[in-house]
Amino acid sequence: MMMINTQCNRPSACATAPTETTCRRRPGDVVQLYQSNHIDAMRIYLANATILHSLRGTSIAVIVDAPDVRSLASNDATNALSSAAQAWVQANVRPYYPDVNIKYIAVGNERCALRGRPRRPHQGVHCRRNERGRRLAAAFRKRVRRPPPSWVPSSSSWRANGSPLLANVYPYYAYKNDNGVDLNFALFRPSSTTIDDNGHTYTNLFDAMVDSIYSAMEKEGGSDVPVVISETGWPSADGRGASKDNARVYNQNLINHVGKGTPKRPVALETYIFAMFDENQKKGDAIKRNKFTS
Protein backbone atom coordinates (compact mmCIF):
# COMPACT_ATOMS: atom_id res chain seq x y z
CA MET A 1 0.00 0.00 0.00
CA MET A 2 1.26 3.46 -0.74
CA MET A 3 0.45 6.41 1.41
CA ILE A 4 0.08 9.93 0.13
CA ASN A 5 1.49 12.01 2.95
CA THR A 6 -0.43 15.23 2.50
CA GLN A 7 1.22 16.84 5.50
CA CYS A 8 4.39 17.48 3.46
CA ASN A 9 5.11 19.94 0.69
CA ARG A 10 5.37 17.08 -1.81
CA PRO A 11 3.36 13.86 -2.05
CA SER A 12 5.33 11.06 -0.46
CA ALA A 13 4.56 7.39 -0.60
CA CYS A 14 3.90 4.70 1.91
CA ALA A 15 3.04 1.06 1.39
CA THR A 16 1.25 -1.79 3.10
CA ALA A 17 2.92 -5.18 3.31
CA PRO A 18 0.23 -7.83 2.76
CA THR A 19 0.89 -11.24 4.27
CA GLU A 20 -1.33 -13.33 1.98
CA THR A 21 1.31 -13.44 -0.72
CA THR A 22 4.03 -15.69 -2.07
CA CYS A 23 6.27 -12.63 -2.46
CA ARG A 24 8.28 -13.52 0.63
CA ARG A 25 10.79 -10.73 0.82
CA ARG A 26 12.80 -10.39 4.00
CA PRO A 27 11.37 -7.60 6.17
CA GLY A 28 14.74 -5.84 6.25
CA ASP A 29 14.80 -5.78 2.45
CA VAL A 30 11.28 -4.36 2.36
CA VAL A 31 12.26 -1.61 4.79
CA GLN A 32 15.22 -0.74 2.58
CA LEU A 33 12.90 -0.70 -0.43
CA TYR A 34 10.64 1.79 1.35
CA GLN A 35 13.52 3.99 2.38
CA SER A 36 15.22 4.01 -1.02
CA ASN A 37 11.96 5.04 -2.67
CA HIS A 38 11.09 7.64 0.00
CA ILE A 39 8.05 5.66 1.11
CA ASP A 40 7.53 7.02 4.59
CA ALA A 41 4.57 5.09 5.98
CA MET A 42 3.52 1.46 6.07
CA ARG A 43 0.50 -0.55 7.04
CA ILE A 44 0.95 -4.12 8.20
CA TYR A 45 -2.04 -6.39 8.67
CA LEU A 46 -0.73 -8.27 11.67
CA ALA A 47 1.69 -7.46 14.47
CA ASN A 48 4.58 -9.55 13.18
CA ALA A 49 7.58 -9.39 15.51
CA THR A 50 10.15 -9.77 12.71
CA ILE A 51 8.58 -6.97 10.67
CA LEU A 52 8.27 -4.65 13.67
CA HIS A 53 11.85 -5.33 14.72
CA SER A 54 13.07 -4.44 11.22
CA LEU A 55 11.36 -1.06 11.56
CA ARG A 56 13.23 -0.06 14.72
CA GLY A 57 15.06 3.22 14.39
CA THR A 58 13.44 4.16 11.08
CA SER A 59 11.19 7.15 10.56
CA ILE A 60 8.59 5.05 8.74
CA ALA A 61 5.16 5.64 10.29
CA VAL A 62 3.30 2.38 10.83
CA ILE A 63 -0.32 1.33 10.99
CA VAL A 64 -0.55 -1.97 12.87
CA ASP A 65 -3.72 -4.00 12.52
CA ALA A 66 -5.02 -5.66 15.66
CA PRO A 67 -6.96 -8.94 15.53
CA ASP A 68 -10.69 -9.09 14.92
CA VAL A 69 -12.47 -6.64 17.18
CA ARG A 70 -14.50 -9.40 18.80
CA SER A 71 -11.36 -11.10 20.05
CA LEU A 72 -10.33 -7.89 21.81
CA ALA A 73 -13.73 -6.97 23.18
CA SER A 74 -14.38 -7.46 26.86
CA ASN A 75 -17.09 -6.03 29.07
CA ASP A 76 -15.51 -7.43 32.24
CA ALA A 77 -14.71 -4.35 34.29
CA THR A 78 -13.21 -6.28 37.22
CA ASN A 79 -9.67 -6.25 35.88
CA ALA A 80 -9.06 -3.88 32.97
CA LEU A 81 -5.33 -4.60 32.90
CA SER A 82 -5.96 -8.24 32.09
CA SER A 83 -8.38 -7.50 29.26
CA ALA A 84 -7.69 -8.93 25.82
CA ALA A 85 -7.05 -5.46 24.43
CA GLN A 86 -4.52 -4.61 27.11
CA ALA A 87 -2.80 -7.95 26.71
CA TRP A 88 -2.52 -7.41 22.96
CA VAL A 89 -0.93 -3.99 23.44
CA GLN A 90 1.49 -5.29 26.04
CA ALA A 91 2.61 -8.08 23.71
CA ASN A 92 2.59 -6.33 20.35
CA VAL A 93 3.05 -2.59 20.86
CA ARG A 94 4.93 -1.79 24.05
CA PRO A 95 8.01 -3.90 23.15
CA TYR A 96 8.53 -1.75 20.03
CA TYR A 97 7.17 1.73 20.72
CA PRO A 98 8.67 4.36 20.46
CA ASP A 99 11.62 2.73 18.65
CA VAL A 100 9.07 1.87 15.98
CA ASN A 101 7.01 4.85 14.88
CA ILE A 102 3.58 3.27 15.43
CA LYS A 103 1.11 5.89 14.27
CA TYR A 104 -2.20 4.04 14.37
CA ILE A 105 -3.67 0.81 15.69
CA ALA A 106 -6.45 -0.34 13.36
CA VAL A 107 -9.05 -2.60 14.94
CA GLY A 108 -10.91 -4.59 12.29
CA ASN A 109 -10.52 -4.48 8.53
CA GLU A 110 -12.70 -4.92 5.43
CA ARG A 111 -15.78 -6.13 7.28
CA CYS A 112 -16.75 -2.49 7.61
CA ALA A 113 -14.86 -1.33 4.53
CA LEU A 114 -16.54 1.06 2.14
CA ARG A 115 -16.66 -1.24 -0.86
CA GLY A 116 -19.21 -2.16 -3.45
CA ARG A 117 -22.78 -0.98 -3.12
CA PRO A 118 -22.98 1.45 -0.19
CA ARG A 119 -24.29 0.06 3.06
CA ARG A 120 -27.07 1.59 5.08
CA PRO A 121 -26.08 3.62 8.14
CA HIS A 122 -27.45 1.04 10.58
CA GLN A 123 -25.35 -1.78 9.15
CA GLY A 124 -21.99 -2.74 10.58
CA VAL A 125 -22.91 -2.04 14.20
CA HIS A 126 -20.70 -4.96 15.24
CA CYS A 127 -17.79 -2.56 14.77
CA ARG A 128 -18.99 -0.31 17.55
CA ARG A 129 -16.28 0.56 20.01
CA ASN A 130 -16.07 -1.46 23.23
CA GLU A 131 -15.47 0.35 26.51
CA ARG A 132 -12.28 -1.62 27.08
CA GLY A 133 -10.91 -0.02 23.96
CA ARG A 134 -10.24 3.17 25.89
CA ARG A 135 -7.90 1.25 28.14
CA LEU A 136 -5.51 -0.07 25.51
CA ALA A 137 -2.57 1.77 27.06
CA ALA A 138 -1.87 5.18 28.49
CA ALA A 139 0.90 5.77 25.96
CA PHE A 140 -1.15 4.89 22.90
CA ARG A 141 -4.19 6.47 21.36
CA LYS A 142 -6.61 3.97 19.92
CA ARG A 143 -7.74 4.34 16.30
CA VAL A 144 -10.93 2.41 15.57
CA ARG A 145 -12.47 1.65 12.19
CA ARG A 146 -16.14 2.55 11.89
CA PRO A 147 -19.05 1.39 9.75
CA PRO A 148 -19.41 3.21 6.42
CA PRO A 149 -22.40 5.16 5.16
CA SER A 150 -23.95 5.66 1.75
CA TRP A 151 -21.98 7.52 -0.91
CA VAL A 152 -24.66 10.21 -1.19
CA PRO A 153 -22.98 12.49 1.35
CA SER A 154 -25.80 13.97 3.45
CA SER A 155 -27.76 10.70 3.70
CA SER A 156 -25.32 9.13 6.15
CA SER A 157 -25.40 8.53 9.89
CA TRP A 158 -22.56 7.50 12.17
CA ARG A 159 -21.97 7.39 15.93
CA ALA A 160 -18.77 9.32 16.57
CA ASN A 161 -16.47 8.25 19.38
CA GLY A 162 -13.92 11.07 19.34
CA SER A 163 -11.21 8.92 17.72
CA PRO A 164 -9.86 9.34 14.20
CA LEU A 165 -11.60 7.18 11.65
CA LEU A 166 -9.60 4.83 9.41
CA ALA A 167 -11.75 4.10 6.37
CA ASN A 168 -11.27 1.96 3.27
CA VAL A 169 -12.75 3.83 0.31
CA TYR A 170 -12.93 2.04 -3.04
CA PRO A 171 -14.72 3.86 -5.87
CA TYR A 172 -13.74 0.90 -8.05
CA TYR A 173 -16.19 -1.46 -6.35
CA ALA A 174 -19.03 1.04 -6.62
CA TYR A 175 -18.25 1.29 -10.34
CA LYS A 176 -17.81 -2.47 -10.79
CA ASN A 177 -21.13 -3.32 -9.15
CA ASP A 178 -23.27 -0.58 -10.70
CA ASN A 179 -23.55 -0.10 -14.46
CA GLY A 180 -24.95 3.35 -13.80
CA VAL A 181 -21.64 4.70 -12.45
CA ASP A 182 -19.59 6.50 -15.08
CA LEU A 183 -16.00 5.28 -15.32
CA ASN A 184 -14.65 8.81 -15.71
CA PHE A 185 -16.52 9.89 -12.56
CA ALA A 186 -14.75 7.09 -10.65
CA LEU A 187 -11.32 7.93 -12.13
CA PHE A 188 -11.33 11.66 -11.31
CA ARG A 189 -11.64 12.49 -15.02
CA PRO A 190 -14.06 15.00 -16.58
CA SER A 191 -17.48 13.39 -16.59
CA SER A 192 -21.08 14.17 -17.44
CA THR A 193 -21.96 12.92 -13.95
CA THR A 194 -22.13 15.35 -11.04
CA ILE A 195 -23.80 15.13 -7.64
CA ASP A 196 -25.26 18.30 -6.13
CA ASP A 197 -25.81 17.88 -2.43
CA ASN A 198 -26.53 20.58 0.16
CA GLY A 199 -24.58 23.26 -1.64
CA HIS A 200 -21.67 21.02 -2.62
CA THR A 201 -20.97 19.79 -6.14
CA TYR A 202 -19.19 16.47 -6.60
CA THR A 203 -17.27 15.79 -9.79
CA ASN A 204 -15.75 12.49 -8.67
CA LEU A 205 -16.93 9.46 -6.75
CA PHE A 206 -14.10 9.46 -4.21
CA ASP A 207 -15.11 12.84 -2.78
CA ALA A 208 -18.75 11.80 -2.57
CA MET A 209 -17.84 8.65 -0.67
CA VAL A 210 -15.53 10.45 1.75
CA ASP A 211 -18.00 13.26 2.40
CA SER A 212 -20.69 10.70 3.17
CA ILE A 213 -18.48 9.66 6.08
CA TYR A 214 -18.13 13.27 7.25
CA SER A 215 -21.90 13.74 6.97
CA ALA A 216 -22.54 10.66 9.07
CA MET A 217 -20.18 11.87 11.77
CA GLU A 218 -21.74 15.33 11.80
CA LYS A 219 -25.19 13.85 12.36
CA GLU A 220 -23.90 12.02 15.42
CA GLY A 221 -21.93 14.89 16.91
CA GLY A 222 -18.58 13.85 15.49
CA SER A 223 -17.85 16.73 13.15
CA ASP A 224 -14.38 17.18 14.66
CA VAL A 225 -13.34 13.56 14.01
CA PRO A 226 -10.51 13.39 11.44
CA VAL A 227 -10.57 10.82 8.66
CA VAL A 228 -7.66 8.80 7.30
CA ILE A 229 -8.21 6.85 4.09
CA SER A 230 -6.44 3.68 5.11
CA GLU A 231 -6.99 1.90 1.79
CA THR A 232 -7.90 2.91 -1.72
CA GLY A 233 -6.80 1.80 -5.14
CA TRP A 234 -7.76 0.47 -8.55
CA PRO A 235 -7.11 -3.03 -9.94
CA SER A 236 -5.02 -3.62 -13.04
CA ALA A 237 -6.82 -6.73 -14.39
CA ASP A 238 -9.55 -9.36 -13.93
CA GLY A 239 -12.57 -7.09 -13.55
CA ARG A 240 -14.85 -4.59 -15.22
CA GLY A 241 -12.82 -1.45 -15.85
CA ALA A 242 -9.71 -3.05 -14.36
CA SER A 243 -6.60 -2.28 -16.40
CA LYS A 244 -3.07 -1.01 -15.91
CA ASP A 245 -3.98 2.27 -17.59
CA ASN A 246 -7.01 2.83 -15.35
CA ALA A 247 -5.01 1.93 -12.25
CA ARG A 248 -2.32 4.41 -13.24
CA VAL A 249 -4.89 7.13 -13.97
CA TYR A 250 -6.75 6.56 -10.68
CA ASN A 251 -3.64 6.51 -8.51
CA GLN A 252 -2.06 9.56 -10.13
CA ASN A 253 -5.28 11.58 -10.10
CA LEU A 254 -5.82 10.58 -6.48
CA ILE A 255 -2.33 11.81 -5.57
CA ASN A 256 -2.98 15.09 -7.36
CA HIS A 257 -6.36 15.48 -5.68
CA VAL A 258 -6.24 14.56 -2.00
CA GLY A 259 -4.10 17.53 -0.99
CA LYS A 260 -7.15 19.68 -1.72
CA GLY A 261 -9.52 17.68 0.44
CA THR A 262 -13.22 17.31 -0.37
CA PRO A 263 -16.05 19.81 -0.99
CA LYS A 264 -17.30 19.37 2.57
CA ARG A 265 -13.86 19.49 4.16
CA PRO A 266 -11.27 21.18 1.90
CA VAL A 267 -8.19 20.21 3.89
CA ALA A 268 -5.44 17.75 3.02
CA LEU A 269 -6.57 14.14 3.44
CA GLU A 270 -4.08 11.49 4.57
CA THR A 271 -4.52 8.66 2.10
CA TYR A 272 -3.01 5.20 1.57
CA ILE A 273 -2.94 3.46 -1.81
CA PHE A 274 -3.33 -0.31 -1.72
CA ALA A 275 -1.02 -2.29 -2.14
CA MET A 276 2.73 -2.88 -2.21
CA PHE A 277 2.61 -6.63 -3.00
CA ASP A 278 0.12 -8.91 -4.72
CA GLU A 279 -2.02 -10.94 -2.31
CA ASN A 280 -1.94 -14.00 -4.53
CA GLN A 281 -2.83 -16.38 -1.69
CA LYS A 282 -5.88 -14.42 -0.64
CA LYS A 283 -9.20 -16.22 -0.92
CA GLY A 284 -11.92 -14.86 -3.17
CA ASP A 285 -12.02 -13.27 -6.59
CA ALA A 286 -8.85 -13.11 -8.67
CA ILE A 287 -9.15 -9.34 -8.64
CA LYS A 288 -8.71 -9.36 -4.87
CA ARG A 289 -5.83 -11.80 -4.90
CA ASN A 290 -3.33 -10.15 -7.15
CA LYS A 291 -4.33 -7.01 -8.97
CA PHE A 292 -4.10 -4.09 -6.56
CA THR A 293 -0.36 -3.57 -6.53
CA SER A 294 0.54 0.06 -7.10
Residue 215 pLDDT > 60, yes or no? yes
Q: How many CB atoms lie within 10 A of CB 203?
A: 16
Q: Which residue(s) pair with 62 in the sheet?
A: 42, 102
Work out the average pLDDT over 185-198.
Answer: 94
Residue 190 pLDDT > 90, yes or no? yes
Residue 154 pLDDT > 80, yes or no? no
Q: How high is the pLDDT of residue 46?
A: 87
Helices (H), 220-278: 244-257
Residue 212 pLDDT > 90, yes or no? yes
Least confident segment among 28-37, 137-146, 235-244: 137-146
Residue 139 pLDDT > 90, yes or no? no
Q: How high is the pLDDT of residue 232?
A: 93
Contact between 14 and 272 under an 8 Å Cβ cutoff? The reply is yes
Cis (ω within 30 of 0) for the bond into 98? yes
Q: Which of 284, 183, 270, 194 minimizes the C-alpha distance to 234? A: 183
Q: How high is the pLDDT of residue 73?
A: 64
Please identify which of the residues 110, 218, 220, 279 carries the catalytic annotation: 110
Q: How high is the pLDDT of residue 98?
A: 93
Q: How high is the pLDDT of residue 69?
A: 66
Position 81 confidence tier, pLDDT thresholds 50, 70, 90: very low
Q: How high is the pLDDT of residue 121?
A: 29
Work out the average pLDDT over 249-275.
Answer: 93
231 is an active site residue = yes
Please identify which of the residues 20, 131, 218, 231 carries the catalytic annotation: 231
Residue 86 pLDDT > 60, yes or no? yes
270 is an active site residue = no
Residue 120 pLDDT > 50, yes or no? no
Count CA atoms within 13 Å of residue 21 on its CB side. Answer: 20
Q: How high is the pLDDT of residue 156?
A: 57
Q: Could you give the percent of the chain with pLDDT greater than 70?
A: 64
